[in-house]
Amino acid sequence: MAAGAGQGGSWDEMDSQLRKKLLIRGAAVVVVLAVAIVILVSQANRLIKHRLEQALGENFAVESLSLSWNKVELNEPRFMKDGRLAAQAKRIVVKPEILDLLKPGFSLASVVFEEPSLTLQIDKSGQWVMPIDIGKKPETPSAPKAGPLSVKTVEIKDGTLFFQDLGRPEPNRIELRKIDLSLDHVAFPPKDGPSKFVFQAQLAGNLLSGSASGSGTIHFETLAVNGKFEGQNLVFLDGGAAGPVSRVQGMSFTAASEGVAAKGLTLSDLVLIKPYLRLESDRKGKISSPLPGAALKAQVEKKEGAAVPVTVKNLKIEGGELLYLDGKIARPPYPVRITDVDLTADHLSFPAGNQNTAYRLSARLPGNHSTGVLTSSGNTVQKTLDTSAKVSLRNLDLTRFKPYLLKEGDVDISRGFLDLDVDLGIRKRMLYAPSHSVLRDIRFVGGRGLADQFLGVPRNLVVNALKTNNNQIEIDFVAEGSLDNPKFSLRESMVTRLTVGLAKNLGLSVIETGGTVIIQGGRLLKGVGDVMKQIFK
């Protein structure tokens, strides 16, 4: 028994010594690893510092640069361009990727830009001006070539971006403030792989203001992108007292592109909440662009083929408003407001394509005595304008649209309403639109001379017809013509055909010959036909 007890004691003593040896060796390994990590981190930080000083050159200046065991901090770095400040930041914090030090290239765990500021410009020739010129040193045969750079995470906090297009007149400047951006898996040279991004920013300036945000993925090698974007309270070209050219309370869409080589961008589920647009036409009826220099820019882009095709799938507009300043109908331009615009379209393309677009539209036209209601639905092809649609207009206040209806010599009206139904058809750029209209509750202003006319027919006939037909006159007519005829105007054609229909309805003889319409006891109208025909009721 004693011998057994002694033998057990020796085993315990050996086991204790073994545990001590293992503990000592384990501690030594930990110390060696710790020292190795410290050395690696120190070498990584020195490598970062060396690379920065080597790469950034004489155009780069920094207030101070500090090293710690796990990061490098650049305080108040700045880049100069032609003697001017092109980029700066409050601080840049760089953290190395320790475990990748032995791999080829240069790896960083993260780069954080605090309060950075950058200026971007397009010069008068349309070329981008690089904001940062990185100083280059002469290469020597013994100088090692720089390896690839990879960063696992890039973050921008409270950044600012100034953009200016010197090829356009003022206003030509956009400012992005309070930019917060995060990116992962960034590499140089770029790699064909997805990088996730999340951003938000405030836009300022009289060219564009509001807020924007988005998230998704981008491939930096091909610039392919897939993400969801939102905008709030966006204002475009604020003209001061004249108000903005355009604004939108809310906007959201999904953007997808297969890259620059594909030359195309697809916007899906584009929703515009309470958008507003102001348009103005000149004396010839041509819409003038609100953006200064846009016409010249468009000509250059058309010649060079610089436009990027954009496809919109599922457009939805809610509560929109259009202010149209018609310079052709009057001087100063006559204002026409269209409110409460609701529109859906399943497919749009820019430039215009040959795909069919199904749409549905409703809107209101405010007047002095009532608000007209416009509805339309159908299908159209943007490129050819081939269209098959129904258009309905109810309770249009004629006193608000007198410049479009009354001609010189017509008696003025103080009240009147129009209902209109149109089967709109366009094929091979030929318009054919059978229409049914109702004139209601017409009240005239001024004297009661025998020569007074309304829509080119004697006033007394119109008054008598209203009295005997429950204060309304129904008129059927067909508007038709070629869209390629520079003299053709849909508005003028509709008014002329309405006049002819009214005259025939009241029992007057109408002669149409060589583009001229002659109404018995009424008006001579021009520009409504190429063939002679005589109609007697």
Distance CA 221, CA 338 (A): 45
Q: Which residues are CB-contacts of 397 (< 8 A; sequence separation ≥ 6)?
A: 365, 367, 368, 369, 370, 371, 372, 416, 417
pLDDT of residue 197: 96
Phi and psi dihedrals of 516, rounded to 5? -125, 140
pLDDT of residue 200: 97
pLDDT of residue 528: 40
pLDDT digits (tens, 9 = 90+) for 402-439: 888 887 778 889 999 999 999 999 999 999 999 999 99
Which residue carries 């004691």 as its tokens? 9
Distance CA 419, CA 403 (A): 18
pLDDT of residue 529: 38
pLDDT digits (tens, 9 = 90+) for 148-180: 778 899 999 999 999 888 877 777 788 999 999
DSSP H or E run through 468: helix 459-468
pLDDT of residue 374: 97
pLDDT of residue 24: 56
pLDDT of residue 36: 52
The closest alpha carbon to 358, from 322, 307, 315, belongs to: 315
Residue 129 near residue 122 (C-beta atoms within 8 A): yes
Q: Tell me the pairing of strands 106-114 and 91-96.
A: antiparallel
Residue 24: how many CB atoms within 10 A of its CB? 10
Which residues does the chain have with pLDDT short of 50? Answer: 1-3, 11, 29, 32, 135-138, 296, 303, 524, 526-537
Q: Which residues are CB-contacts of 224 (< 8 A; sequence separation ≥ 6)?
A: 218, 257, 258, 259, 262
Distance CA 4, CA 18 (A): 21
Assign residue 413 a region (left: φ > 0; alpha: ψ between -120 and 50; beta: otherwise).
beta
CA distances from 516 to 377, 512, 524 (A): 34, 6, 7
Residue 474 near residue 437 (C-beta atoms within 8 A): yes
pLDDT of residue 243: 76
